[in-house]
Amino acid sequence: MEFTTLGRTGLRVSVAGLGCGGFSRLGLTAGLGESHAIGIIRAALDAGVNIIDTASVYGTEDVVGKALQGISRDKVIVCTKASKPAGDKSFSVDAIVQSLEESLKRLGLDYVDVFQLHAVPPAAYPFVRDEIAPALLREREKGKFRFLGITETAPNDHEQLTVGQAAQDGIWDTAMLAFHLMDQVARTAVFPHSLANNIGTLMMFAVRSIFARPQQLSDTMKDLAAAGLVPPELATRDNPLDFLIHDGGADSVTDAAYRYVRHEPGANVVLFGTGSIDHLRTNIASILKPPLPADDLAKLRTLFGHLRGVGLEAPPPRG
């Protein structure tokens, strides 16, 4: 495993981080059960992953807590999140603080390393910054978490206004944001600020569904070509990103996608989700490979650098 420093937190973290939400939720979405989910977490730890990201809304905090039983607390960086409750029109200080307390109970921990305000839309950001963050910093003084983070609502903030501003405000220690082969907005909207202010970054949406489902990628490319946003020839290929797969290049589209995010200046941790131990090992192997060839990187920037909102689908509602 390779390690890096998570911005100004000073935490030494693995470059590959286990995400416990998304479409798979450690296999829970497919009904594989708690013991299976715990096995995935343990396999990740055995592979050298030392940062785990969950959230109250994911429904995985309980299994994370069980998987961490018997493991030295200083060996694992635990991140969780609080969201605006479903149906509420705005964030609430009391609800967020209560969410933190309940997360600690589910995780079976006295503190989490990073506590994040989850899926903050641009319109809510000023209130979150001016009211929620100060209240949470008071909770931090009580020892309930070590560092304060924020995450964007990628499907609803294609210009990354929330994290772009948050990276400049001096309050947040970390930011979780989307960046991938066909959504490169962060290169100009976020990374210059996060690098300048030493904000740790947790990268999501590196693969998600668009690069894992060939038909979705093909259909998306046809739609983009019809709209004049990509060259027409990309719409004629069954695998429109096959130019990335060659000797000296990537082994697959997903391999390319993980490597692309991993080596972008400003990206610290690449989060991946999975419901399979084999898949987990393949993901980690890709994240640990060298950068893509310079010609491929230049082509990706030319073809897709102008796109907005591609491949940022939210996972289905959880029961």
Q: DSSP labels for the chain?
A: --EEE-GGG--EEESEEEE--TTTGGGTTTT--HHHHHHHHHHHHHTT--EEE--GGGT-HHHHHHHTTTS-GGG-EEEEEE-PPTT-SS--HHHHHHHHHHHHHHHT-S-EEEEEEEEE-GGGHHHIIIIIHHHHHHHHHTTSEEEEEEEE-GGG-TT-HHHHHHTTSS--SEEEEE-BTTB-THHHHTHHHHHHTT-EEEEE-SSTTTTT-HHHHHHHHHHHHHTTSS-GGGGG-SSTTGGGBSTTSBSSHHHHHHHHHHTSTT--EEEE--S-HHHHHHHHHHHTSPPPPHHHHHHHHHHHTT--STT-PPPPPP-
Point out the catalytic residue in the list 58, 125, 258, 260: 58
The per-residue b/e assignment along 268-300, b for 16 or more CB within 10 angstroms, e otherwise, is: bbbbbbbbbbebbebbbebbbeeebeeebbeeb
Cα angle 192, 288, 271 (rounded to 5 degrees) comes to 60
Question: Does 58 qualify as catalytic in the annotation?
Answer: yes
The answer to whether the beta carbons of residues 129 and 161 sit under 8 Å apart is: no
Positions marked active-site: 58
